[in-house]
Structures are given as structure tokens and as C-alpha cells.
Amino acid sequence: QTSNAENLPPQTLRLLCREVSLLSADPPDGIKVFPNDEDVTDVQVAIEGPEGTPYAGGLFRMKLVLGKDFPAAPPKGFFLTKIFHPNVGPSGEICVNVLKRDWRAELGLRHVLLTIKCLLIQPNPESALNEEAARLL
């Protein structure tokens, strides 16, 4: 796994470093961000399972991977913790519109993380990657 950091323009890297350190210092509720000092394009995250959902009490590790086209292209999201969810594929990939057609560069990583946390509360059957989990909705 090579770092994408060297493929990003210095200005993008600076913005990214600032955003990741802000997120780790002041994370959204129920979300912890662990900056990767070796590779800023690999953002490690832990999301607490929201109360009142089947995920309550769990801690779900995930990562955002930022490609060389970031922020023009959205980051890719993956759950590292095994999770049974309609919008999470067998290898942990997360299907959510903000990581696809609804992405805009100005949204930022905080918005992405909040959207993924909301997905744990309210799955989206329209973009199901796990048919079995989707049938249970």
C-alpha cells in the first residue's frame, strides 16, 4: 500500500493536514479520528454505535482513503470492523451518496463522517451492497 500523499499538490496536503488535526482535536459526537502521521491520506476513524440502533454499544473502526484526485474526487470509505449493514459490502466498502454522486469538494471529511454515522442510524435501501441486510429493513 503506497501513500497517495506524494501525489497530492502541497496546497491540498496542507488543507488536509489541517482538517484532519481539527477533526482529531474536535471530533463529531461519537466519532474519534486517529491521524496517520506516515500518510495523511489514510484517515483512521472509530465510530460508536448510535444508541437505539442494532449497533449500540459497539465500536466500529473504519478508514477514509483519499485518492490522488482528492478533493475533486470523493474519499473511499471502508469499515475495518466487520459490520452487517445494507450499505456495507463484504470487504467493508461503504456505499453512500456523499462518497459518490453527491460529493462536492467543499463538503469536507467531517460531513462524510457524520453521513456515515447517520447511515448506522438510518440505512439507505436504495444503495444496498448487502442484499441480505437490506431485506431485513
Average pLDDT over residues 65-91: 94
Average pLDDT over residues 85-111: 92
Give percent above pLDDT 90 in the chain.
72
Alpha helices in the chain (DSSP H): 10-25, 108-121, 131-135
Q: Which of 45, 95, 116, 119 is the catalytic position?
A: 95
Distance CA 134, CA 126 (A): 9
For 41-120, where are the E strands, in sequence order? Answer: 42-48, 59-65, 76-79
Model pTM score: 0.90
Q: Tell me: the pLDDT tens digits for 106-117? A: 999 999 999 999
In 10 A of CB 60, how many CB atoms?
Answer: 21
The per-residue pLDDT for 118 is 95
CATH 3.10.110.10 fits 5-135, yes or no: yes
Residue 125 reports pLDDT greater than 90: no
The per-residue pLDDT for 2 is 61
Average pLDDT score over the chain: 92
Residue 1 reports pLDDT greater than 80: no
pLDDT band at 136 (very low <50, low <70, confident <90, very high): confident
Is 95 part of the annotated catalytic residue set?
Answer: yes
